[in-house]
Amino acid sequence: MDDRSRGEEQTEMSTSTAPHPAARSAFSGLIDYAGLFPPAQLSLAQAVEEYERERVGTCAWMLGRFILPASLLEAEPAGARGPLSVILDVPADPRQWFDALQGRVRGVAEARAAGAAVDVFEVPLPKLLAQRDTHGAAIGQLRAALDRGGLAGIPTFVEIPRDDRWAQMLAPTMEALARLGFGAKIRCGGATPDAFPSVDDVVAFVSAAVATGVAFKATAGLHHPVRGHVGDGAGRMHGFLNILAAAAVAPRAGLEMLSRIVAEEDAAAFRFDETALWWREERIGDEALRAARRAAFVSYGSCSFSEPVEDLTALGLLGPA
């Protein structure tokens, strides 16, 4: 089931007054729940309880998948409920990566056979050891592992390591992902300032993904709709609405406009009406929002579901209450 269909299904559980149609197009199923991860770090039982509570809440239509590591799914296959976005957690050392990956794939295949509702994979690529190395070999190994494990049809989002070669590797890595049918994943924050990508880095990622037709997920640091907050890691936090707006206009906009959108810190610059999201005087119609959610910015992981919803509500961005 794709994100749009899941969002429409979850609407049936929601008792909220309908938001503007354009806001629904923008936010349906956008927020994958990552309560197991920092800073929340709930136990599996606590996280599942929170997820199930939000699934019947007034904003359930915005809730996406439950994120958990494959290692935990293998250890407690009956503990998590779907739909699941499973992180194939493997060592970053390329000398161990492929063997560990194959083991994780086998474990998840067994969990799926036992009834686990695995909907999506998220996979961190290994580090590059030498200057001549590229990510192409690891991406090919990932495709082979999933094919052999009978999991080729599951959408898979690949996280590109952010190191001193990240900018150099971005374009060829996106091309390899497109060629082998994978999505991408960007990490937008963390425990230290250097974990927060710059505006230019985010723009480069979004632009490269859209140019190659690679859908993407985001994770970490996107607690708020609009850029401007300072995170626990003392980095400037990006806004998920900024990134969504940039993804939606990327097919027709240059890098200068994308940079301005991603860097925007004035929440009043964003507004919805019945048929569009507006960034200042730039209209992003409902069709463009739907296309962006379907083929570009698919979802992002957040350890809190209530925080982004409360922010959107306080800013009046969900429409009629």
Query: What residues make up the domain containing 202?
Result: 3-312
pLDDT in the model for residue 125? 97
DSSP 17: P
Per-residue pLDDT of the chain (321 residues; tens, 9 = 90+): 444 444 444 433 333 446 889 999 999 999 999 999 998 999 999 999 999 999 999 999 999 999 999 999 999 988 888 899 999 999 999 999 999 999 999 999 999 999 999 999 999 999 998 888 999 999 999 999 999 999 999 999 999 999 999 999 999 999 999 999 999 999 999 888 889 999 999 999 999 999 999 999 999 989 899 999 887 777 889 999 999 999 999 999 999 999 999 999 999 999 999 999 999 999 999 999 999 999 999 999 999 999 999 999 999 998 654
Is residue 321 one of the residues assigned to a domain? no
Here the CATH number for the domain that contains residue 141 is 3.20.20.70
> Counting Cβ atoms within 10 Å, is residue 154 exposed (0-12), middle (13-18) or buried (19+)?
middle
Is residue 297 one of the residues assigned to a domain? yes
Is residue 133 one of the residues assigned to a domain? yes
Q: Which residues contact 252 (CB under 8 A, 6 or more apart)?
A: none
Is residue 11 one of the residues assigned to a domain? yes
Q: How many residues does the chain have?
A: 321
Measured distance CA(32)–CA(62) in Å, rounded: 9
Count of structural domains within the chain:
1
Measured distance CA(286)–CA(87) in Å, rounded: 31
Is residue 93 one of the residues assigned to a domain? yes
Is residue 181 one of the residues assigned to a domain? yes
pTM check: above 0.85: yes
Measured distance CA(178)–CA(193) in Å, rounded: 30
> Counting Cβ atoms within 10 Å, is residue 183 exposed (0-12), middle (13-18) or buried (19+)?
buried
Q: Which residues lie across from 239 on neighbouring strands? A: 224
- Residue in the structure block whose two tokens are 């007034």: 58
